[in-house]
Structure 1
Amino acid sequence: MAAVWQLKGAFLMLLADACTEYVFSCKVRRLSEKTIDNYRKQILYWNRYLDEVCDVQEVEKVRPIHIKNFIILKEKDKRKPAYINDLLKAYRSFFNYCVEEEYIDESPLAKVKNVKEPRVIINTFTLTDIKKMLDYYSGADYLSVRNRAILAALFDSGIRCAELMSLTDDKVREDYMLIHGKGDKERVVPKSPFLSKCMIRYQRTRESYFAGKLPPQGYTFLSKTGKKLTHEAVAKIVRNASRAAKVDRSVRASPHTCRHTFAQLQLKDGIDLYTLSRLMGHENIAITQRYLRGMKDDSILQEGNKHSPLMRL
């Protein structure tokens, strides 16, 4: 299979072949299957546009004007800035790969800026909400004890849903957890005494429930049949507790909102962005700053007053 066209003595790399190479490179980097699949679909979407609208099929022929016209087209279609920026992120990563492989000298997206996104306030759970949600699972049966431990882990560590589902017993230590995160990276997250208590009770209940016949995979949190939990199952745990606690409907009842809640409560308690970035497993501090921007104005005012330099005189 030829990966290039020869034109006037120069070899041109086909976008389709470069995409295939890039996907393979993502697998070598051990990105998650979900991330790789999203990148592949987004890049193919771009390539289809370039082929059908711009009559461009080669990497070297893509120009910044093609990208900018695409952005304008999506804005006319009333697509949200976050959606457009997500597509740009994928294509920017793709063309950075093409530069690394020396198919081109500079990415056509190098001077293309992201679309300005409106400031989004993400409503999070309050401390009262958290207490009521935990109390909802106060029973002594296996599912109640498990669900309480899951909620405690989500709120106490900021763990992603996928990370929680893949957590294994050997990664749960006495006062911390080793979380296997995105990009095959592992990070250390402390466990509060509250979470430790919930986890000890859960593990003891789990041993009794399965009568010493735990599945060999070693996953910490198991379904009632001993299988690895699904994202839908964890989301249902959060959703049911939120409904029972009568949480305000403006708060999206999801595992990711638990993560946002963790981040914002940590920021309110005065944690620095670098430490929070490490705890949450972010690639860079810019991602963590989004949680700071998502805080409500009244929270910012309260924190500003609390840490006023003149109040220390």
Structure 2
Amino acid sequence: MLLEDVLREYEYHCQARNFTKKTMKNKRQELKQVLEFLQTKRGIAELESVTSHDLDAYLRIKRQKGLKPQSIVSMAKQVKAFFNWCVKEEYLTINPMDKVTLPRIPKVLLTGLTSREVVDMMESFSNTKYLEIRNKAILGMMADCGLRAMEIAGLKENDVRDTTIKVFGKGNKERIVFISPALKKILIRYERIKKEYFTNRIKYNDNYFLAYQGKAMSTVAVYNLVIEAAERVGIKGKRVSPHMFRHYFAVQSIMAGIDVYSLSRLLGHSDVSTTQRYLESLDNDQLLEKATSSSPLMNLNRRNR
């Protein structure tokens, strides 16, 4: 069976599953490189001829080009997903990626945002001008609900309800997150000013957050407003991005006592192991606070008061 034909079928399979444009672009790019390597460097045209040695060689070239372990592992997941599908479709009996050794990803302790920094970034935007209150509302929603930049940009007006938000995450998976009274206060003001701003202007779509021209925001625009907020308050020496607001939400939820399974659902993770990584990012002070609050003797003393 020609490898090129199977890859084409797999692409349509992925499209049928409603993967995002970004995900499809990454898959096409990686699988195109794999196909080219196997054909030109290993002389392989048939799917059944691919071995773990061939894929090991492919990863070796990636390492020689200086790709970081994280990038190689992310790329390998795309390749492994394709061969898993081949096994599921009974085109293969085993996945050749199963015996491929992946590089270890060094653990890096993220220096997360503090509550003071989050508040300062939000307050760096005013409550009167449209773009300012919009940006404040976006930062508040990311900090209070843990939404991704792509999810923020893709929200529709009817997705944001009185106490809940319907979110379409990776792979177009739907989930529900909840609006706290503190966030609701900001959103009410944003919706009022948005309505006033667009009274005599054209809205080109029904996205909840709109650019000043009335068009949908891009994920780059969401990223840029976070950078602008960090610059306004003078945050330096740490990574600041939309993901760090998602990280902040996860850590604060853990500190508040939420279980990892509930947090996984709120974050839209398909695998709880992804959520557990946030536990590894707790610093010593946070661990001390969590250990103290859960101490059996401390709780025993509270009960006996």
What is the alpha-carbon distance in structure 1 between the residues aligned to residue 113 and residue 219 of structure 2?
Answer: 20
Residues 16 and 298 (structure 1 numbering): CA distance in 2 closer, same or farther, change over 3 Å?
farther
**Mapping 1:6-21, distance limit 5 Å:** 13-21=1-9
Query: What stretches of structure 1 of length at least 5 have no aligned partner?
Result: 1-12
**Mapping 1:53-92, distance limit 5 Å:** 53-92=41-80
Match of 2:98 among 88, 107, 110: 110
Q: CA deviation at 1:312?
A: 2.2
AA aligned to 1:241 is A
AA aligned to 1:306 is S
Corresponding residue number in structure 2 for 1:157 = 145
Q: CA deviation at 1:220?
A: 0.7
What is the alpha-carbon distance in structure 2 between the residues aligned to residue 247 and residue 121 of structure 1?
Answer: 18
Corresponding residue number in structure 2 for 1:286 = 273
AA aligned to 1:102 is E
Alignment coverage as a number of residue pairs? 300
SS of 2:207's equivalent in the other structure is coil
Q: Is the 8 A contact 1:19 1:40 kept in 2?
A: no
Corresponding residue number in structure 2 for 1:6 = none
AA aligned to 2:51 is R
Corresponding residue number in structure 1 for 2:303 = none
Corresponding residue number in structure 2 for 1:10 = none
For the aligned residue pairs, the C-alpha RMSD in angstroms reads 1.7
Q: Which TM-score applies when normalising by structure 1? A: 0.91
Q: Which TM-score applies when normalising by structure 2? A: 0.93
Encode CA deviations 1:152-187: one digit per residue, 9 max, x unaligned: 111111111111111111111111111111222211
Corresponding residue number in structure 2 for 1:174 = 162
1:119 and 2:90 are equivalent in the alignment: no
Q: Is the 8 A contact 2:155 2:167 kept in 1?
A: yes
SS of 1:109's equivalent in the other structure is helix
Q: Pick which of 84-93 and 73-82 moved more.
A: 73-82
What is the alpha-carbon distance in structure 1 between the residues aligned to residue 102 and residue 296 of structure 2?
Answer: 37
Q: CA deviation at 1:73?
A: 3.5
Q: CA deviation at 1:292?
A: 1.8
Q: Is the 8 A contact 2:201 2:214 kept in 1?
A: no
Q: Pick which of 116-125 and 155-164 moved more.
A: 116-125
Aligned identity (percent) is 35
Q: CA deviation at 1:305?
A: 3.2
Query: What stretches of structure 2 of length at least 5 have no aligned partner?
Result: 301-305
Q: CA deviation at 1:298?
A: 4.0
Corresponding residue number in structure 1 for 2:251 = 264
Encode CA deviations 1:87-131: one digit per residue, 9 max, x unaligned: 110010000111122211111012334321111222221100011
Q: Pick which of 281-290 and 49-58 moved more.
A: 49-58
